[in-house]
Structures are given as C-alpha cells and as structure tokens.
Chain A
Amino acid sequence: MIDTLRVTAQEANDLLTSGEASSDEIFSAYRAAIDERDGELNCFLHVNDDAPGAGVPVAFKDVISTRGIPTTAGSKILEGFKPVYDATVAERCAARGLRTIGKTNMDEFAMGSSTENSAYGPTRNPWDPERVPGGSSGGSAAAVAAGMAPWALGSDTGGSVKQPAALCGVVGLRPTYGTVSRYGIVAFASSLDQIGPVAKTVADCAFLYSVVAGHDPRDTTTVELPEPVQVPEAEDLRGLRVGVPKELNEAEGIEAGVSEAVNAAVELCRELGAEVGECELPRSVEFGLPCYYLIAPSEASSNLARYDGVRYGLRVSPDGIREMYEQTRDAGFGDEPKRRIMLGTYALSSGYYDAYYAQAQKVRTVIRHEFAAALERFDVLVSPTSPTVAFPLGAKTENPLAMYLSDVLAIPPNMAGLPGLSIPCGLSEGLPVGLQLIGPQFSENVLFRAGHALEQALGFDYVPPRLAA
C-alpha cells in the first residue's frame, strides 16, 4: 500500500516508471485517502473518479476551468457551472499524463486568507482541524499536506499560494507574473493573478512548475521562460547572497515563534555557505497592503461584472433586466466579493479615482524600485511567509482588516511581479512556520536551488503528526 502522507510526487512517479505500482493503483491510494480524511477536512469541492491519464494524480484549485467538470470558484453564483474548455494549465497537465483527481476548495473568487469564505464550507487544517489552512488556496495546500493529492495547483493574487502552503507545512510557489498562463482561470485581479504549484518538496514544486510554465498565445501577458526549469539538486548555498529585509522581518504582528524559526533558517543559510546581510524596504511593507487593497478590489470590481445572470451561472429572475442583474448578484455573491466589489467600484468612481486607484498604481512603482534596489545587492530575500501560524476557525471572520493582515508579508513582492517560494522551516506551538524566499523576476531556478538546499538541511517532517499512523 502506498503511504500517500509520506510519498512525494517524484517517488510516486518512480513507483510508476519502475513498474512497482500502476497508475490506477496510485490513483486509488489517493482516492482512498480522500474517502478517509476529506469528510473532516473538506478540501475537495468535486472528486473526479473518471480521470483519464497514465501518470500520477494532480488536484486543481476550483478557479481552474476543467472541461465538463464543475468549476465554481467557491461561489454560489457558479454552482453547477461546467466549463466548455480546459484552462491551459489543465491542458498542459493532461498532456503529461497527470490525472485530475478533483477540484479543491477555496475562498470565494480567491478572496480571503483562510478558506472560510468558501460558499461550500471551510477547509480545515490537517495539522489541527480546529484551525484554518490559510487561503485562498487552502483546499490545495491541505489536500497535499493530508496525502489526498501528491501535488496541486493553486492561484496567488496577494499570497494565496504562499500563505496556505506556509500554514499547512508544504511548499508553494508564486511564480513570476507572466510565466504561467491565466487562460481559463476565473479572473480576480488580472495584473496580479498567477497560477502556482503546491507540493511536499521543492523538487516536486519545480517539476510541476516546469509542466505548466511558458508562453501561451491565448494569454498575451505570458512570456517564454528565459531558461529551462532546473529541478534542484545542490545541497549548499555557496556563492548565494541572502538579504534579510528589516521591515519584512520585524513587522508588527509577527509571532515570536515565527521569528524564531525564521531566524534559525537564516542562520542555517550562513552555515550552508551563503553570504547573509541586512537590507531595507522602507515603504514596500508599510504601503504594500494598502496599495494591494486598492488595486486588487478595483480590478475585481471590473472582472466580476461578468456575473450578471445572462450567459452562465445563477439567475434570479424577477421582471426587468436591471432587477435581474442586481438580485442575481446579491443572491449569488458572498460577503467578501461584495465588500471588494463595493471597495473597488468606489476607488474607481468619479471623484475618487486619482486619490485612490491612480495613487496606488504609483505606490506600486515605488515598491518595484525598492525591491529592484535590494535585489541588486542580494540574490534572494528572506522573511516569514505569514506573520502567524494557522489561526483558529472564526478568529478573524468578523474583522476583514485583521484577515487582510495575514498577507502583509506575502503581498509586497507580488506588487512588483516577483516570484516567491514558501518552504516549511520549523514549528511554533506545534504548527508549521513558512519561510518566504523572494528573487528577481524569472529567478525561479535560484529560489528552487536555495529552497532545496535549506529543505535538505532543515529536515522538516511534512506529515501532520495527528495523521501519521
């Protein structure tokens, strides 16, 4: 029997190529794990028993269109919606034989940091089911941590891959903006949305990234990768310059246990041969979150205009077309999408545009320049991925601003279009702590190399103790 809690995607694939297990046997092992654990954890919105392919399984966040397979983005407004084409990332996974085992739970329209905003109930953290898995790709991260999929794809707009990976003790990559196609992805904030892999190891994460990355003529914001993806092997960090941005490591609200684990990892960088130094991002952290919460809701208010009850999705049908639009949207959207649509509509409205949206776009330039300056001195910047470990369900649902602060450290590099890798670097109060590695645009190979070397040296056990047999 395959121990899906322990086995990496690479190892599962080795079982397949060596003939020790068939694709169906591997699929059944993960399918059995879903039967055993998903009643409690609620990672999946749809499980696909009829998944073609000859390879290992993969799970997709429910923001990724899958032809003929329900795709809801965690929203009631898309209940029952069946896409008529595959997202490019789904197509690329299928072309490599990966079998879509299911669609994972998420905050509605990827708006949230805990997966509690799903219209289909929250996902629970495999390390402690009374706690959140993070979000918005909480279903993907928890499914991988709980051995229900060897790896998964999520989406990251303001930290939605990195933060749940951190809270669930797995590895997550938010790629450089423009390296992974958004064709067929339910849009949230188009200048920020990126699809990224979640896996147990950095090597698995790199491999899945190599499957989905690269130019797609159907998404004009994509580019060709400047160099092929290298699955990392080096176990030292000799020659690597590691920067520790003061503001990202000393921000208000970072838990002591989180700082402790991250500081130990920084020390380990030194022991592995890296040159470590301090740097500053004076305005990026202080103004990153406000900048994000103007730009992302503004783009969302425009993107979510398409849910009008005309072509697909829910329709509430009174007399009159305006009444149909307004009542469909009121009935179909949950609180968080409504809040962000309202905020974005306000920020873009006549009289406020210059003070809010246009000003935020300028702040974005400031953030880009600050990171560019720091990354001239350093190859990689490090910080906690999230200021806290996984928090209890319900702890932040009544206070949107407190929830938004979960991503205060993940957001700034996203505004600059930079890639970020989160790897588990230890435990605090028995819960995983994530280390965020940030590099220049298109530096994924450097992040993989650094992440892999640290991962080997840290020896973090990604199996949640309560699930270990």
Chain B
Amino acid sequence: MAITRDEVLHVARLARLALTEEEIAKFQEQLSAILQAVGKVAELDLSGVEPTAHPLDLSNVWAADELEPSLALDDALSNAPDQEDGYFRVPAA
C-alpha cells in the first residue's frame, strides 16, 4: 500500500512534525514499504475475535482517595524552557 505525499503531510500535521522536503520524500517511501509489510494483518479473518488492549486481566484499579504530597512548584518548573510567575510560558497561540 503506497501512501501519497498529501497523506504524509496530513499525518505530519496531525503529529505536529514540521518535516523538511527531504524527510517528506524519505518517509513517503519508507512508510509505504512498512505499511505494506504490516498491512499483512488484514489477511486474517478475525470477525468475532475480541481485541487485546492489555495483557493482564486487570480492570478498575482504584487508588485510595487520600491526600498525598505532590511535586513542589519549583521542582515542576525546574526543567521548563521558559517560565513566568510560577507558570510555563509559551509563545502566543
């Protein structure tokens, strides 16, 4: 299954990746080859088979509703590229 240049651009936009022209061409070719290989899963008729999201039979794992200490503000901001008044600072949206 070959994917088009427009599909590569669409997916890159969804994934918030600003690809270079060179990357667009390379990924179009490589993703087509990979999709062809993984598309093999379509060969199996799996109607009626339940999907597996997780290998263990766990459901509704709750934590006790108790107050616990969380990260201090200074710690939470310590790796921030930019900050102001206790907030992460970003360019205007």
Contact = CB atoms under 8 A, between A and B. Distances in A.
Interface of A: 81-82, 84-85, 177-178, 191, 217, 220-221, 223, 283, 286-287, 289-291, 293-294, 301, 305, 308-315, 317-327, 329-330, 333, 338-339, 341-343, 345-346, 349, 355-356, 358-366, 368, 400-401, 415-417, 441
B31 A342 contact: yes
23 contacts: A84-B75, A177-B56, A221-B56, A283-B44, A289-B37, A310-B90, A312-B80, A319-B92, A321-B90, A323-B18, A324-B90, A327-B18, A330-B18, A330-B19, A338-B27, A342-B11, A349-B14, A356-B38, A356-B41, A359-B46, A363-B44, A400-B30, A441-B55
B37 A290 contact: yes
A361 B52 contact: yes
B25 to A, nearest CB: 13
Given A217-B63, A223-B56, A356-B39, 8 more contacts: A81-B79, A177-B55, A220-B58, A311-B88, A312-B81, A321-B92, A341-B15, A363-B41
Interface in B43-93: 44, 46, 49-56, 58, 61, 63, 71, 75-76, 78-82, 88, 90-93
B41 A349 contact: no
Contacts of A325: 16
A338 B88 contact: no
Interface of A is mostly: helix
Q: Which 9 A-B pairs have the closest CB atoms?
A: A417-B55, A361-B51, A312-B79, A326-B18, A315-B81, A364-B52, A362-B46, A84-B75, A220-B61
Contacts of B79: 81-82, 84, 311-313
B2 interface: no
A400 B16 CA distance: 22
Contacts of B34: 293, 339, 343, 400-401
A223 B17 CA distance: 37
A302 to B, nearest CB: 10
Contacts of A329: 15-18
Given A178-B56, A321-B92, A330-B19, A293 B80 contact: no
A289 B31 CA distance: 15
A331 to B, nearest CB: 9
A290 B51 contact: no
Contacts of B27: 338-339, 342
A359 B42 contact: yes
A368 B17 contact: no
Interface of B is mostly: loop
A292 to B, nearest CB: 9
A58 to B, nearest CB: 25
A359 B42 CA distance: 7
Nearest to B13: A326
B15 A84 contact: no
A294 B42 CA distance: 12
B49 A362 contact: yes
B84 to A, nearest CB: 13
A338 B23 contact: yes
A81 B80 CA distance: 10
B38 A301 contact: no
A401 B75 contact: no
A342 B75 contact: no
Contacts of B20: 330
B12 A342 contact: yes
A221 B58 contact: yes
Contacts of B33: 400-401
A349 B55 contact: no
Contacts of A343: 31, 34-35, 38
B89 to A, nearest CB: 9
A324 B40 CA distance: 37
Contacts of B92: 319-321
A311 B80 contact: yes
Nearest to A283: B44
A355 B15 CA distance: 20
